[in-house]
Structure 1
Amino acid sequence: MPNHQAHAVDPHALPETITRYLKAHEAHDTATALTAFTSDATVTDDGRTYQGATAIGQWLNRSATEFTYTIELTDARRTDSTRYVATHHLEGNFPGGRVDLRYQFTLRNELIERLVIEP
């Protein structure tokens, strides 16, 4: 994979698809969050990969209820025309209590094709 230089962007300038997903995920609105993904999308979170709408919907429902936490968007970057990274600071009742997570988005046809969430 080529090494792309990421450029900071205003969080309000993130593509609508990413913003829709982030807002819906924070509001625990699985149906709206799923509209941001391609039908064959993959999500990798906590070392596990989920593929397709059914698996991603189950992941969204589980992640919405597993822990209670606050989330704050602290940084947004654009790597290229289809890749963005949104960094979030989370605090809550999960192991460790605090973490900064990078949500790495790859878009296809203005929808999320791939999402990798990692520290």
Structure 2
Amino acid sequence: MDTVHLPQAVENFVAATNAHDPNALAAVFADGATVHDDGTAYTGESAIREWIQVHLINPKIVITPTSFAGDRLVASGDGEFPGGPLSFAFVFGIQDDQVTNLAITPV
């Protein structure tokens, strides 16, 4: 498989997710960032930390990037949830190597 080249903030997000490290994941996000996932918006550090724990850490998600273009990462997500692995699109807003906005949808 070809290597997918990622911006630093996206690389940090993938690495922290795959390491199941909630503190490293939280550090990827800028102050006031928003995550849109499963029809819900999570804004600010407290809400994003809760989202990280429930949606990434508890199910032990592992992300395998398949492509990146513009601001959109397509990746396989696997973990302890029914029906996996599944493909997701992660659309990132990035400023100063931190994620300001993240929208996740199934592909």
Q: TM-score range by the shorter chain?
A: 0.7 to 0.9
Query: TM-score normalized by structure 2?
Result: 0.84
Select the residue among 8, 11, 14 that pairs with 2:4: 11
Q: How far apart are 1:51 and its partner, in Å?
A: 0.4
- In structure 2, the gaps of 5 or more residues are none
Residue-pair matches, total: 103
SS at match of 2:53: helix
Select the residue among 67, 71, 76 that pairs with 1:89: 76
Matches within 5 A, 1:1-119: 11-12=4-5, 14-63=6-55, 64-65=57-58, 67-68=59-60, 70-78=62-70, 84-119=71-106
Structure 2: distance between partners of 1:28 and 1:103: 18
Q: Is this contact kept in 2: 1:72–1:88, CA < 8 A?
A: yes
Whose Rg is larger? 1
Q: Is this contact kept in 2: 1:38–1:111, CA < 8 A?
A: yes
Query: TM-score normalized by structure 1?
Result: 0.76
**Over aligned residues, Cα RMSD in angstroms?**
1.8
Structure 1 residues 31 and 117: CA distance shift in structure 2, 3 A: same
Could you list the structure 1 runs, at least 4 aligned residues long, displaced by more than 4 angstroms after superposition.
none
Structure 1: distance between partners of 2:99 and 2:36: 13
Deviation string 1:31-50 (CA, Å, 9 cap, x unpaired) is 11111111100001111110
Q: Is this contact kept in 2: 1:50–1:56, CA < 8 A?
A: yes
